[in-house]
Amino acid sequence: MTHERKKLSKITEELMLFFYGIGGNDITFNVKLKGDDAVITFESNFDPKHRHAVEDMDRLLHSGHDYGVEDIYWELMGSGEPGETSQLLLVGMLVDKVDVTVNDDRVKVVMYKKDLHK
């Protein structure tokens, strides 16, 4: 397994733990590999009392791809407490684009990661 696919696994793990932490009990995710690119889609419900955490997640995931951070720190994902903001910030630094849609008690996150084989 390449490091890039391990990174995808770590990203999905972090989001699963985050959604569990905000009361998610109806979580689905999908990873599609298209050539050298990947699209990761998560949909989950959440406890409305954790809406602030969803808003924080949205902000952190939009931190922007940082290749320097990615090369050095990607293996640290999963080492902190579930839902730690630093973990979500790291996820945001590993992906190229993020779309987040929040409704009453559901959230959909679509992340794009380019050039997996670079």
- Per residue in 17-49, pLDDT (tens digit) is 999 999 999 999 999 999 889 999 999 999 999
- Sign (positive/negative) of CA torsion 19, 21, 26, 27? positive
User: What is the per-residue pLDDT for 1?
Assistant: 46
Question: Percentage of the chain surpassing pLDDT 70?
Answer: 87
- In three-state secondary structure terms, 118 is coil
pLDDT (tens digit per residue) in 42-90:
999 999 999 999 999 999 999 998 888 787 777 766 665 655 556 898 8
3-state secondary structure of 7: helix
What's the pTM?
0.88
Helix (H, G, I), strand (E, B) or coil at 14: helix
The contacts of residue 83 (CB under 8 Å, 6+ apart) are 17, 18, 21, 22, 53
| Domains of the chain and CATH, by start | 3-113 (3.30.565)
